[in-house]
Structure 1
Amino acid sequence: MLPVALRVYFENSVGRILEHPDGYAVVQYHAGTREIAYLQAFLRHVGQLLKLRGWYKILGDQRLMTPYTEEESQWITDYWLSYENQAREIYGAVMMATDAWAQLPDSYRLQDAQAGAMTYRLFDNEAAALDWLHQRL
């Protein structure tokens, strides 16, 4: 199968946002620490892309990402994932680093979770993440 051409929508020091022709955003986080203003800009662009295209799915690649700080987590929950900020429910397939994945209890690995307007599931590989994402509505 030929590789799919992804279009870069936005990039900053936090990561890269790509448009997948199958109708979802690919959100790739870079390694290293982040400034919260850059994370906020990054995630606002994710929301803008979803609204612009009428999409509701995200493939999140957090395999290189440094864990969120408490301040980042709070902003994501209070603002970015709020139902008021999102036009509809979002589905996110999130790929984690293998070492972080291995530390999770089975109950976290095998079920959907809810955070504000997002239903998501954690994965350790792209094939499984894409399979779950393609099954969403």
Structure 2
Amino acid sequence: MRLYFENPVGRLLEHPDGYALVEYAPGRRDFPTFQAFLTHTSQLLRRHHWHKMLADQRQMAPYTDEERAWIRDFWLARSASEGYEMFGAILLPADVFAQLSVNQVMSDSQQSALTYRMFDGEPEALEWLRQLPETQG
């Protein structure tokens, strides 16, 4: 795997199997750094014409209200308006409050370009990603 981008929010890796590995770091985030992290995630996916990502949120702190709104109103809305379909296998956070915030984001994204599944374990998440077609649209 090759490191694509890293900041205090986490690391983005290019997986040779054709998906982005999005690893969230523990701890609080500042909003501009969070926006940069997700913007780079979109850029990585589009650069390779990938539509799949494994989001490792096991150590992640809960999303803030501001982060949730930005994901829904900008990040996912932009992908939907561009017709860019994404598939996300999400490894659930250990923290129960972070799990609740992830569930809220996923609930908000029902009408977006993101198709997702949540997993407790990485093997199941990877198996789901492998079953998806390489490209969409």
Calculate the TM-score normalised by the size of structure 1: 0.82
Judging by fraction of residues, say which structure has more helix. Answer: 2
Q: Structure 2: which 5+ residue stretches go unaligned? A: 101-108
Contact 1:81 1:115 survives alignment (8 Å): no
Q: Structure 1: which 5+ residue stretches go unaligned? A: 1-5, 105-112
1:94 maps to 2:90 = yes
Q: What amino acid sits opposite 1:9 in the alignment?
A: Y
What is the Cα deviation at residue 67 of structure 1? 1.0
Instruction: Report the number of matched residues.
Output: 122
Question: In terms of Rg, which structure is larger?
Answer: 1
Task: Give the whole-Å Cα distance in 2 for the aligned partners of 1:69 and 1:99.
Answer: 14
Task: Give the whole-Å Cα distance in 1 for the aligned partners of 2:33 and 2:64.
Answer: 13
Aligned to 2:7: 12
What is the Cα deviation at residue 89 of structure 1? 0.7
What is the Cα deviation at residue 116 of structure 1? 1.4
SS of equivalent residue, structure 1 residue 26: strand
Contact 1:98 1:124 survives alignment (8 Å): no
SS of equivalent residue, structure 2 residue 110: strand
Runs of 4+ in 1 over 6 A off after TM superposition: none
Rate the CA distance shift 1:115–1:31 in 2: closer, same or farther, 3 A: farther
Aligned to 1:50: 45
Q: What amino acid sits opposite 2:64 in the alignment?
A: T
Contact 1:31 1:65 survives alignment (8 Å): yes
Task: Give the whole-Å Cα distance in 1 for the aligned partners of 2:114 and 2:69.
Answer: 15
Root mean square deviation of aligned Cα: 1.9
Task: Give the whole-Å Cα distance in 1 for the aligned partners of 2:9 and 2:127.
Answer: 26
Calculate the TM-score normalised by the size of structure 2: 0.82
What is the Cα deviation at residue 99 of structure 1? 5.6
Task: Give the whole-Å Cα distance in 1 for the aligned partners of 2:35 and 2:114.
Answer: 17
Aligned to 1:118: 114
Q: Deviations over 1:49-105 (max 9, x none)?
A: 111000000000000000101110000001111112x552100000013464xx88x
SS of equivalent residue, structure 1 residue 33: coil
1:76 maps to 2:71 = yes
Task: Give the whole-Å Cα distance in 2 for the aligned partners of 1:123 and 1:134.
Answer: 14
Task: Give the whole-Å Cα distance in 2 for the aligned partners of 1:115 and 1:57.
Answer: 18
Using the aligned pairs only, state the percent identity: 53
Contact 1:23 1:57 survives alignment (8 Å): yes
